[in-house]
Amino acid sequence: MTRSFVAFLGLGALGAPMAARVLAAGFPLIVHNRSRGAEEPLAASGATRAATAAEAAASAELIAVCLSDDTAVEEVLFGPAGVAEGVAPGSLVIDFSTIAAATSQRLAARLGELGVGYLDAPVTGGTEGARAGTLSLLVGGSSNHLERARPLLEVVGGRISHFGPVGSGQQVKAVNQILVAGSYAALAEGLALARALGLPLQQVCAALEGGAAGSWALQHRAGAMIENCYPLGFRLALHRKDLAIALETAAAAGVTLPISTSVAGIEDALIAAGHGDEDVSALARWFSPDQAPGLLRE
């Protein structure tokens, strides 16, 4: 089966393993990252490097984007030497970034003026899911664009869910990040109590995983919280950015989110104390302040 040429823009903690899976699946792959060194491992495996996003887009039918925030996505698509300067009409942009739904809608409209399609397809499942190809993809956009992108999406995701027009994938991702905030904070709080009671923490977690308290966070992040070691995962500072999007989305819908608001405040304090580049599971530092050097609390 002939594979479409793919450009992958953004080779961070999620983008790099996703791009590696695309390459391994046999797609001709062109990569570009603003920090060019990130391109080298993929180039060593057979990907073509592009000096700019425009150069990458010029040779690709499918253009995957996985960047940190709204500003970065807009810059790569429409900034100097961005995708818009090289892309051919009929191409399709697949945006795996987590950004505001309104931003996705605005980007889709601008690309549409160039004859280019757009899907918002934010992902959830962490770096583990990116490496294994088991991410959950939350898709907004036309059904025709989704079917065109499906062979690529099936390489990086284990579940593809289509929620409606452009922006709806980002709205579901906002819901996801609210659930992440609550589940991680609840796990950290529960472990703080278990530790204070002198309970065997690993045994407690193993016992609870199969019951009503079971969660992805409990299964995948309890060990890090117990060991007070927080490798990525998903960066705390990026989750705080996503949580801001969720809170703004909720405010616009007239919904109050007291738990998420509380977690946002905790994350702000942790980031101010220098923990923003750790995994979200570093929320556990707040509940065990003796383990959080530099954490200032009122």
Q: How far apart are CA 267 and CA 216, in angstroms?
A: 20
Q: How far apart are CA 260 and CA 243, in angstroms?
A: 7
User: Exposed, middle or buried by CB within 10 Å (0-12, 13-18, 19+), for 110?
Assistant: middle
Per-residue three-class SS string for 61-76 = CEEEECCCCHHHHHHH
Residue ranges of the chain that CATH labels 3.40.50.720? 6-165
Q: What is the largest CA-CA distance in the chain?
A: 63
pLDDT at 214: 95
Half-sphere exposure in the Cβ direction for 175 (13 Å, CA):
8
Nearest alpha-carbon partner for 241 in 216, 220, 271, 217 = 271
- Residue 134 near residue 158, CB atoms below 8 Å: yes
The answer to whether 173 is a known catalytic residue is: yes
Residue ranges of the chain that CATH labels 1.10.1040.10? 170-291
The mean pLDDT value for 179-200 works out to 96
Q: pLDDT band for 219, please (50, 70, 90 cuts).
A: very high
- Residue 264 near residue 240, CB atoms below 8 Å: yes
Does residue 182 surpass a pLDDT of 60?
yes
Q: pLDDT band for 137, please (50, 70, 90 cuts).
A: very high
Which CATH number does 6-165 carry? 3.40.50.720
| Phi and psi at residue 266, to the nearest 5° | -65, -45
Q: How far apart are CA 283 and CA 270, in angstroms?
A: 8
Catalytic hit among 21, 148, 173, 240: 173
For residue 129, say if its preceding peptide bond is cis, omega within 30 degrees of 0.
Answer: no
pTM for this prediction: 0.93
Lowest mean pLDDT among 47-61, 75-89, 168-182, 276-290: 276-290
Q: pLDDT band for 1, please (50, 70, 90 cuts).
A: low
pLDDT at 39: 97
pLDDT at 297: 52
- Residue 53 near residue 81, CB atoms below 8 Å: yes
CATH superfamily placement of domain 170-291: N-(1-d-carboxylethyl)-l-norvaline Dehydrogenase; domain 2 (1.10.1040.10)
The mean pLDDT value for 176-183 works out to 96
| Six-digit token string for 5 | 């040429």
pLDDT at 118: 98
